Amino acid sequence: MNNLRYLIDFDTDKVEHEYCDVLIIGSGIAGVYTALEIPEEYNVVIITKDCIDISNSVLAQGGIAVSLDEGDSPELHFKDTIYAGAGLCDEQSVWVLVNEAAANIDCLCNFGVQFDKKSNEELSLTREGAHSKNRIIHAGDTTGKEVCDKLISVVETRKNIKIKERNFALDLLTESGVCKGVLAYDETKSVVKVYISDFVVCATGGFGQLYENTTNPEIATGDGTALAYRAGCELMDMEFIQFHPTVLYHTENKSFLISEAVRGEGALLKNINGERFMPRYHELNELAPRDIVSRAIFEEMKRTKSSHVYLDITFKGKEYLENRFPNIYKTCLSYGIDISKDYIPVAPAEHYCMGGIRTDISGRTNISGFYACGEAACNGIHGANRLASNSLLEGLVFGQRIGNEVSNLLRNGPAKKSGLMMKFVSNNITKAIDREVIRENLKKIMTKNVGIVRDRESLIYALEQVDEYNKTIENMKNESIRDYELQNLVLISKLVIESALEREESRGAHFRSDFDKTDDIEWRRNIVKKRGTLNA
């Protein structure tokens, strides 16, 4: 593996410096909510590789899980999360999540987030896969956008928070295992820049762009996970990739999510022959955990030699569907699909990474001063398979916890904003290679060999191919955003494949056809990757 510590050569004496009390990388729900938890007497900078309103969070449709109903409780939410996580959830983290959920939803409402309500002004609750109760609050079928738009609007009123768009976080700057800041590329000025801060929060999302079909935006290239790994951070559970069962399958669009809430409202899955099939696979039918539904669809497509299955909600009226799922209704109609009359063609696509930067319940990593939250982090909440609508909630709960932790340290600790003198020189050279071909081939390799169903032979093949690409880009002088992303994608691919090879069992989203049983004796444990250790 390419073991260079930094993506580019640099000398901090020769680049622009900017100081702040807290630096946040990423502008999704986890990043902006963390920023709002920092008291206004402290300077916060949010850097984001694109515009502030482009993130995985914005695309989240279904909603946020929270136990508010009289017949529900944090204990039941805990139980459902543990069940979906297939024996690998960290119970302490899950307890924090479910017990602090309601307070954070109150905060969102106070910020002005408009969730759907019943006639009596109570929040409207729906149900999704593997939930035993109706506990999903929502804003139509664009919950993530509603939440992020409101949070961003509040951030923009805070004088202590600066937003730096089109700033690509290249690497974490560390000295003796302590965070000192971030090396970034300012795309608007075409210059390298150093952000100096003793507190850095990584909220960069996942790495869905490893796969051909994903619900993630193009920015989801695992940059935060990769920079953390290069800095010596522990990564955990990298083999667990969640494929959402129902993503629109159309010649013009194979990345538009058909929310799990559609099945929560009673939609049925049918194969290419119009036959319902989920009762053959699980007692919870269409509302089984996502890994089970995705594999069932995968097997049904294989059995019927088809490229997709159907989702049927035609028993609901047009007016109801236009009101409950306005974005899904409008988008499908733009492709000639009237969901009040037509079946929706769907197939699984990559959706969420359970693995990421290993943290504790306060968002701390093994690098002092470096924190992570949201999809970029792995605190054990999701185990081997994330429960529906726990992702936005995770960003809120742990964003708040990091905000509280960092605020206390700023208040009580010594002011440390010292200068930074660092230099890195490599022997990297300019290489005439087709970056885009490598990128596309990488997606094909991961999709075919490291997808919903895996085996040793396909994983070894994938690893060999990725190793070849790693050799190709090793010692390459990185000169553009696409170069930086390619380095990160190859690195993350390798770590995912190695973890999948190591776990010789099937658990949650990781299914090995050559080890098709769950082995609690040997494998009820996490796989941790750290730079410089064996196989990493």
The confidence score (pLDDT) of residue 51 equals 82
pLDDT at 118 over 90: no
Choice among 127, 263, 290, 386 that is catalytic: 290
pLDDT in tens, 374-427: 999 999 999 999 999 999 999 999 999 999 999 999 998 766 666 788 899 999
The confidence score (pLDDT) of residue 334 equals 95
Range in 87-91, 126-130, 229-233, 394-398 the model is least confident about: 126-130
Residue 426's contacts (CB-CB under 8 Å, 6 or more residues apart) are 4, 6, 9, 475
Give mean pLDDT, residues 72-99.
97
Please tell me if the domain spanning 10-239+354-412 has the same topology as the one spanning 241-351.
no
Structure tokens at 328: 């899904």
Question: Got the DSSP string for 434-480?
Answer: -HHHHHHHHHHHHHHHSSSSB-HHHHHHHHHHHHHHHHHHTTB---S
pLDDT at 534 over 80: no
Bridge partners of residue 65, in order along the sequence: 136
pLDDT at 536 over 60: no
Phi, psi (degrees; rounded to nearest 5) at 487: -60, -45
Give mean pLDDT, residues 113-123.
87
Report the alpha-carbon distance of residue 94 to residue 387 in Å, rounded.
11
Handedness of CA 318, 321, 322, 327 (dihedral sign): negative
Average pLDDT of the chain, as a whole number: 93
Report the alpha-carbon distance of residue 193 to residue 17 in Å, rounded.
6
The confidence score (pLDDT) of residue 142 equals 85
pLDDT in tens, 11-22: 999 999 999 999
pLDDT in tens, 441-472: 999 999 999 999 999 999 999 999 999 999 99
Residue 441's contacts (CB-CB under 8 Å, 6 or more residues apart) are 465, 469
List the domain boundaries for the chain.
Answer: 10-239+354-412, 241-351
Q: Which residue has the tokens 């297939």?
A: 86
Residue 290 is among the residues annotated as catalytic for this protein: yes
Residue 308's contacts (CB-CB under 8 Å, 6 or more residues apart) are 249, 272, 301, 345, 346, 347
Range in 128-132, 270-274, 276-280 the model is least confident about: 128-132
pLDDT at 58 over 80: no
> At 172, is the pLDDT very low, low, confident or very high (cuts 50, 70, 90)?
very high
pLDDT at 72 over 80: yes
Report the alpha-carbon distance of residue 169 to residue 177 in Å, rounded.
19
The confidence score (pLDDT) of residue 91 equals 98
H/E element, 169: strand 167-175
> At 164, is the pLDDT very low, low, confident or very high (cuts 50, 70, 90)?
very high
Cα–chain center distance at 284: 26
> At 2, is the pLDDT very low, low, confident or very high (cuts 50, 70, 90)?
low
Report the alpha-carbon distance of residue 187 to residue 174 in Å, rounded.
23
Give mean pLDDT, residues 203-217.
94
Taken as a whole, the chain contains a residue count of 536
The confidence score (pLDDT) of residue 527 equals 98
If we measure between CA atoms, which residue out of 375, 360, 385 comes closest to residue 239?
385
pLDDT in tens, 492-520: 999 999 999 999 999 999 999 999 999 99
CATH fold group of domain 10-239+354-412: FAD/NAD(P)-binding domain (3.50.50)
Does the domain spanning 241-351 belong to CATH 3.20.20.120?
Answer: no
pLDDT in tens, 307-337: 999 999 999 999 999 999 999 999 999 999 9
Q: What is the CA radius of gyration of the chain?
A: 22
Report the alpha-carbon distance of residue 154 to residue 152 in Å, rounded.
5
If we measure between CA atoms, which residue out of 142, 152, 176 comes closest to residue 32?
152
The confidence score (pLDDT) of residue 305 equals 95
> At 304, is the pLDDT very low, low, confident or very high (cuts 50, 70, 90)?
very high
pLDDT in tens, 340-374: 999 999 999 999 999 999 999 999 999 999 999 99
Structure tokens at 370: 């470096």
The confidence score (pLDDT) of residue 416 equals 61
Bridge partners of residue 64, in order along the sequence: 137
pLDDT at 1 over 60: no
Percentage of the chain beyond pLDDT 70 is 97
Phi, psi (degrees; rounded to nearest 5) at 429: -130, 155
Q: Which residue has the tokens 């081939």?
A: 441
pLDDT in tens, 22-44: 999 999 999 999 999 999 999 99
The confidence score (pLDDT) of residue 121 equals 82
